[in-house]
């Protein structure tokens, strides 16, 4: 009986499967009207073209979803949904879109073309283009294609690549568009302002640009790292660097030379002096102590770099008292009439932590004993982060103060602080590799 049952089951499994039924096509309905809501800064008309649901055409539900997907793939929207209603004249479709963040574009190595000229051409081709671009998405390829066509109209044949890069002279990021194969180089760099043009140090630093391929991103990096600090030191906290210019002699139709003279307009603005810092949110440390650690003098030049270091000293002071997650939010207030600057500094102190455990990996037994013997913060004491940072530096240098004459065999020390808010303790983890 059992053999018969097995045979019947095997026979059933070997039977040919019935042919799959062809899926019936989705019913379609005439499109009467299409609209897009939720746009804050973008015009709706270009996206109705992307949706590709013209009034009078027939569409199924899958077509509506495909249109929403096309809109989302642009990268200009973080979310796209749709709804539809049926009327006597057909479907009324509404797409609900939420705009995604956009970043400024940087046309990196097109020295003979003005940004305004490029922006106008791209906007004529892509009406949603406004000098910004999404961080990702098919809109980037559309911008690159339009830019390539514009360059071809100016007898510049080059493929275009794009890349999201940090903004050297501001917050956030830039969407960089580069012409591949552009070979113009930088022959010279001239500054419009005397502070930069007469600096004894900058000529040597310019070797990072001279003779190199023309790149606005490279120029901006140079300005951020070498020129802006010079102005900040002199109190020019709102210095502005305009778009680099190429100043050529000769007829406009002449062939572009291989090496270009670059002129950088600089507007230094007002040289500010320090007024005061106003603190809020500080309960653990007094305003008097914070001002002492700040180290700024009323009436002195508001040295921007010194100010940045002063905020670090404040965080160090909080770390010394166990507030390892303290945060500062300095907000500058400029008084142009008196050429002074003051700061309102909001502080989030968070928890005060004590030392809990010390976990070590990657060391021999003797090496671990040496580290534990030298560890500067006893369990249960306020976690002084400045001692922790100093100890890390000694470990990285294989300090004899820790290891004595014992040979050590590690190249780096991975380090982590694990905070436990529930009991306000910190576990220190050190991994020797």
* Between 139 and 396, the higher pLDDT residue: 139
- Sorted by where each starts, the structural domains of the chain and their CATH numbers stand as 29-99 (3.10.20.310), 102-182 (3.10.20), 186-247+260-271 (3.10.20.310), 273-348 (3.10.20.310), 354-432 (3.10.20.310)
Q: What pLDDT does residue 253 have?
A: 57
Give the tokens for residue 385: 């982060």
**Percent of the chain at pLDDT exceeding 70:** 92
Task: Say how far apart CA 90 and CA 79 lie, in whole Å.
Answer: 26
Asked whether 353 and 419 are in contact (CB, 8 A), the reply is yes
Q: How many CA atoms lie within 13 A of 414 on its CB side?
A: 9
Q: What pLDDT does residue 274 have?
A: 98
Task: Say how far apart CA 393 and CA 329 lie, in whole Å.
Answer: 28
Query: What is the DSSP code (8-state) at residue 213?
Result: B
Banded pLDDT at 189 (limits 50, 70, 90) = very high
- Starting at the edge strand found earlier in the chain, the sheet holding 273-280 runs 273-280, 340-348, 327-335
Q: What pLDDT does residue 249 have?
A: 67
Helices (H), 154-193: none
Flag whether pLDDT at 428 surpasses 80.
yes
Residue 221: partners with Cβ closer than 8 Å, 6 or more residues away? 168
Give per-residue pLDDT as tens, 34-87: 999 999 999 999 999 999 999 999 999 999 999 999 999 999 999 999 999 999
Task: Say how far apart CA 425 and CA 130 lie, in whole Å.
Answer: 51
Give per-residue pLDDT as tens, 270-328: 999 999 999 999 999 999 999 999 999 999 999 999 999 999 999 999 999 999 999 99
Asked whether 42 and 95 are in contact (CB, 8 A), the reply is no
Q: What pLDDT does residue 254 have?
A: 57
DSSP per position, 215-279: -HHHHHHHIIIIIHHHHHHTT-TT-EEPPPEE---S-TTSPPPSEEEEEE-EE-----EEEEEEE
Flag whether pLDDT at 12 surpasses 70.
no
Phi first, then psi, for residue 337 (nearest 5°) are -65, -30
Calculate ∠ Cα 192-198-203, nearest 5°: 95
Global confidence as pTM: 0.83
Which residue matches tokens 């560890």? 375
């Amino acid at each position: 009986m059992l053999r018969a049952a097995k045979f019947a089951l095997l026979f059933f499994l070997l039977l040919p499967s019935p042919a799959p039924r062809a899926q019936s096509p989705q019913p379609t309905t005439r499109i009467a009207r299409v609209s897009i809501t939720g746009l804050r800064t973008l015009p709706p008309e270009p996206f109705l073209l992307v949706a590709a649901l013209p009034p009078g055409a027939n569409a199924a539900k899958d077509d509506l979803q495909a249109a929403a997907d096309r809109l989302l793939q642009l990268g200009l929207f973080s979310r796209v949904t749709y709804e539809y209603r049926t009327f006597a004249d057909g479907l009324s479709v509404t797409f609900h879109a939420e705009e995604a963040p956009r970043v400024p574009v940087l046309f990196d190595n097109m020295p003979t073309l003005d940004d305004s000229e490029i922006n106008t051409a791209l906007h004529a081709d892509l009406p949603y283009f406004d000098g910004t671009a999404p961080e990702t998405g098919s809109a980037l390829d559309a911008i690159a294609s339009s830019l390539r066509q514009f360059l071809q109209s100016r007898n510049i044949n080059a493929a275009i690549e794009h890349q999201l890069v940090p903004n050297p002279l501001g917050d956030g990021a830039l969407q960089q568009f580069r012409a591949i194969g552009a070979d113009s180089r930088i022959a010279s760099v001239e500054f419009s302002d005397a502070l930069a043009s007469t600096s004894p140090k900058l000529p040597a630093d310019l070797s990072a640009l001279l003779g190199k391929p023309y790149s606005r991103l490279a120029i901006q990096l140079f300005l951020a790292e070498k020129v802006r600090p010079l102005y900040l030191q002199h109190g020019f906290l709102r210095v502005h660097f305009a778009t680099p210019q190429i100043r050529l002699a000769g007829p406009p139709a002449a062939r572009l030379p291989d090496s270009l003279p670059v002129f950088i307009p600089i507007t230094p603005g007002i040289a500010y002096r320090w007024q005061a810092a106003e603190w809020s949110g500080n309960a653990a440390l007094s305003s008097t102590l914070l001002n002492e650690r700040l180290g700024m003098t009323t009436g002195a030049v508001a040295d921007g770099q010194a100010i940045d270091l002063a905020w670090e000293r404040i965080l160090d002071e909080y770390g010394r008292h166990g507030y390892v997650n303290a945060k500062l939010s300095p907000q500058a207030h400029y008084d142009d009439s008196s050429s002074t600057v003051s700061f309102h500094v909001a502080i989030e102190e968070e928890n005060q932590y004590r030392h809990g455990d010390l976990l070590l990996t990657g060391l021999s037994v003797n090496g671990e004993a040496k580290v534990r013997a030298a560890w500067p913060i006893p369990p249960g004491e306020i976690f002084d982060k400045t001692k922790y940072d100093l100890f890390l530096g000694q470990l990285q240098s294989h300090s004899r103060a820790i290891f004595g004459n014992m040979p050590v065999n590690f190249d780096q020390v991975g380090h982590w602080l694990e905070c436990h808010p529930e009991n306000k303790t910190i576990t220190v983890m050190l991994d020797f590799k």
